[in-house]
Structure 1
Amino acid sequence: MSHPAPAPSTQRITVVGDALIDELRDPQGSREFVGGAALNVAVGLALLGQDVTLVAMLGDDEAAQHIRSYLDDFGVRLVESPSALGTSRAISDRTDGEPRYEFNEAAQHRSIRFDDATRAALDEADLVVVSCFPFDNAAQYAELVDAIARPEERVIVDGNPRAGMLADRAAFLENFEDFASRSLLAKVGDEDAELLLGDSLDAFVARLGRDPVADDAPGFGPAILATAGREGATIHDGRLVVHADIVELSGPVVDTMGAGDATLSAIVQHIAERGLPQTTIAWETALREAMTIAAATVRHEGALLRKPAHDPVYPS
């Protein structure tokens, strides 16, 4: 593969995206968790031993104080963007069967301030992870592109679109695809494909990179991490296509909310320590690590990354 890869000693990681309060409602009542895709990845990487900074928007309210305290507990530095609308909140209502999601006005108008502190955090990072960014905001997207040097060497992006936060689906798709083409690795999920394309995950993967068999170049575009829930995850990296099934651990699946973020955290951790995998065997190792951590995470309520307490039982 022709991808440039960060050195295995990489440890400084800056995550850019959302931080919010997840309010879960079900027949047993209502509970609140600190969340947001970017925040989950930042905390997950900190739990995996990395040196992490989160760039996210917070309001001047009690919810923001709760988020600051939570990040401090896990040793994640915070570079704040101000919000006149308060701190973002997502409500997951599971009282009537299928979960329904609602986002407050702050979440719908989330933004990042690309000031000196944000740019310094991006410049100093060996890896930059962008997750749940407002790609449908043209001005924000232009600032993001301008603020990150050498994205093809160090950027990992997860679009993480949410129906209740999308202002312009077509613009989000166009800018996400453009940013993914500039990046080292892009993550996409089956739900992303349905929301943004109304099509399959395979179709989304095909849009993000040309078929290398049909191209003269030996490698093209980013490595793509495609996640499909119970169907596991697949890496598409040039001519390499590597799949991993989900991992079986003891205990029931309690909450799948943090599975995708845990998977991404584990892959970023692998890249930070060992560089971008260059062979089928190396990708198999990275994916198996990620599936194991995701399996441990979904056996607890909330999206906090978990490590397995015992050896996993891998499918034969």
Structure 2
Amino acid sequence: MARVLVAGEALIDVVRRVDGSVEAHVGGSPLNVAVGLARLGHDTELATHIAGDPYGALIVGRLGEDGVQLVPGSDTATRTSTAQATLAEDGSASYEFDIDWRFEQQLSPDFGHFHTGSIAAVLQPGAIQVEQAIRAAREHATISFDPNARPSLMGDPHDARAQIEQLIGLSDVVKASDEDIEWLYGQQASLDAVLALWARLGPSLTVATRGPDGARVHLARTGEFADVLGASVDVVDTVGAGDSFQSGLVSGLLDAGLLGGPDSRAALRGASLTDVLPAAARAVACSAITVSRAGANPPHREELPS
């Protein structure tokens, strides 16, 4: 099976709960995706930017526990980045970041799929380096991208949208939340219209998540849309839910042979809804399990419904 390379930020989430308690957890959207993929049985490596400090050691330990390989050169930062996550009564989280993002590793072309997104895609100087890596990786790997908008870091939505659409055009699969789309395109934006717009830029499959209501899926080739229903669960918090969805989606498409290299790119381009919906259903299941417990704690493969 194709090796997966995930590129992006790894950081420490300092979580402040409603009861006043404070906890430190390993986090970062790309790291969460890498851990989720490894737990689902995929050979996964992470290219990131951390320091050799105590927070960096926590991250290295977490990756080791879950079998994620750290790409050499990922530990050259002067400090490990942090995010202050404040939880609301309903379990939702708001974030403030202290991020230093650079992407200077020399990647060996031994992976079949490349995933990136979130802060790594827009925060300079690393963002331009990520884009260059994607352009090189397209020769031998499929690409997935999750904008995972962070308004406090991304500035003006119009400026962020230009960079995000550039990366969408280089991707085979794009997933975003309805909240991401609203921030990027405004409250009146139609999910279907945005998914169709993105499909015209290049991806074969575009997906919008809708929290407890599941997800909306769009195929570029046929122009079809489909809904995947959400699962009914008791929500503890939503930290890492979108990342877990992303892991499940990529995992399902890898297992179906629709991601993992140039031949898989062609297969995805010709796929039907019947071909892709099982992967979307796996993604919903992964997200539901994650929100049912505290923190960004994605499921192992054996936890998924058979």
Shift of 1:181: 1.2
Q: Distance in 2 between matches of 1:54 and 1:230?
A: 29
Is 2:26 the partner of 1:34? yes
Percent identical pairs in the alignment equals 29
DSSP 3-state at the match of 1:269:
helix
1:262 corresponds, among 229, 244, 258, to: 244
8 Å CA contact 2:8–2:117 kept in 1: the answer is: yes
What amino acid does structure 1 have at the position aligned with 2:194? F
Shift of 1:156: 0.4
Match of 2:115 in 1: 129
Q: How does 1:76-95 map to 2 (within 5 A)?
A: 76-79=68-71, 80=74, 82-84=76-78, 86-94=79-87
Q: Distance in 2 between matches of 1:138 and 1:162?
A: 14
Match of 2:182 in 1: 194
Shift of 1:225: 1.5
1:207 corresponds, among 159, 183, 197, to: 197
Q: Greater CA deviation, 36-45 or 147-156?
A: 147-156
Aligned CA RMSD, in angstroms, stands at: 2.5
DSSP 3-state at the match of 2:274:
helix
DSSP 3-state at the match of 1:82:
coil
Match of 1:112 in 2: 103
8 Å CA contact 1:58–1:81 kept in 2: the answer is: yes
DSSP 3-state at the match of 1:157:
strand
1:229 corresponds, among 207, 211, 221, to: 211
Is 2:232 the partner of 1:248? yes
What CA deviation, in whole Å up to 9, does each residue of 1:148-190 have, x standing for no partner? 3353850001111212222454332112111111211111111
What CA deviation, in whole Å up to 9, does each residue of 1:61-120 have, x standing for no partner? 110011101101111111215323x1111111236887442112xx1x42222x32xx22
* Structure 2, gaps ≥5 residues long: 259-267
Match of 2:138 in 1: 151
- The alignment's TM-score, normalised by the length of structure 2, stands at 0.84
What CA deviation, in whole Å up to 9, does each residue of 1:110-163 have, x standing for no partner? 2222x32xx22xx21100011224433565444333323353850001111212
- Distance change (3 Å), C-alpha of 1:295 and 1:65: same
- Distance change (3 Å), C-alpha of 1:150 and 1:33: closer
Is 2:161 the partner of 1:179? no
Equivalences, count: 284
Match of 1:13 in 2: 4
8 Å CA contact 2:10–2:49 kept in 1: the answer is: yes
What CA deviation, in whole Å up to 9, does each residue of 1:26-48 have, x standing for no partner? 23311121111101110011101
Shift of 1:246: 0.6
Shift of 1:208: 1.1
Q: How does 1:55-74 map to 2 (within 5 A)?
A: 55-74=47-66
- The alignment's TM-score, normalised by the length of structure 1, stands at 0.81
8 Å CA contact 1:13–1:129 kept in 2: the answer is: yes
Match of 2:151 in 1: 163
Match of 1:102 in 2: 96
Q: Distance in 2 between matches of 1:261 and 1:95?
A: 19
